[in-house]
Amino acid sequence: MGMRTDLALESAERAEASGGTEGIVKTERSYDSAGLRVTEISIETEAAARALGRPVGKYITVSCCGGRLSELCENAEERAECLAGELRRVSELPGKVLIAGLGNTAITSDSLGPRTASGILATRHIKRLARDIDTAGLSEVTVISAGVMAQTGLESQEVIRSVREAAGAELVIAVDALACSELSHLGSTVQFCSTGISPGSGVGNSRSELSEATLGVPCIAIGIPTVTDCEVIAESAGGEIKPEYGGMIVTPRDIDELIARSSGLLSMAINRALHPDLGFEELSLLMN
């Protein structure tokens, strides 16, 4: 069944099942105290890229060992630190970074990007205007919620490229909601990749890609699967879906909590990665 997915992990698992793993390097590690496990996939050849339908690059998937990201846990700081560390593994983080939240705030399952962006510590103005404050330990961070074409009339790529150029950012980190084809990944995994993203591709509504080729600087994409095809539900239950329901997209019942808690987790992780001199308590105060 050719179900849509934004997760390189799922594409790699399909390739592995069919015996086509040449050019794909897979490594695993775990963070037991944080209750997380990590699968890192490197696509190293163009042939492997074609087989997986993804560009050559690095893809890191962080998965909860049990439950979803919407569930309260006692090790939230450890999880944020783990995610911050994995973000640093994807690419070198320069001094000037643009964080772009992708998605539609009017649709809960598509609001991960803007909600995450709202928790990011913007420092570009501080670095430039605060003459009496020592800002040497801060990265220069610009933040934008790009909206969607139906709201702005503009491609997200156009908005982000313009802001990137104005801010002089040397890296773009784009955050977006994803689609998956395995129920176990829904709301329980975070994907980092070094190759950028085509917003909406997982639900068949692909917009202009965000990548180094289109933005002029490297682009890291971060996402969490918040939707899946209705066919995935039917398959997991051992049944078939009626033709009239084909193509329907479904989301978890606790999507509000999933977005609220996972966006907060991503915001903290990104802030920690970009401002390692600031502790969790300091960041929590600044984020609120």
Question: Would you list the domain boundaries of the chain?
Answer: 8-287
Higher pLDDT: 148 or 145? It is 145
Q: What is the mean pLDDT of residues 98-119?
A: 95
Span between the terminal Cα atoms of the chain, in Å: 45
Which of 110, 118, 145, 85 is closest to 272 using CA atoms? 85
- Fold that domain 8-287 belongs to in CATH: Rossmann fold (3.40.50)
Which of 143, 142, 153, 162 is closest to 216 using CA atoms? 162
Burial of 24 by CB count in 10 Å (0-12 exposed, 13-18 middle, 19+ buried)? buried
> Does the pLDDT at position 204 exceed 60?
no
Extract the tokens encoding 22.
Answer: 């040449």
Q: What is the mean pLDDT of residues 122-148?
A: 81
The average confidence (pLDDT) of the chain is 88
Is residue 198 very low, low, confident or very high in pLDDT (cuts 50, 70, 90)?
Answer: confident
What pLDDT score does 131 carry?
Answer: 65
H or E element: which one contains 10? helix 8-17
55: left (phi over 0), alpha (psi -120 to 50) or beta: beta
Could you give the 3-state DSSP secondary structure of residue 277?
Answer: coil
What pLDDT score does 207 carry?
Answer: 63
Instruction: Please list the alpha-helical segments (H only) found in 72-191.
Output: 76-90, 112-117, 124-129, 149-152, 156-167
HEC profile for 62-74?
Answer: EEECCCCCCCCCC
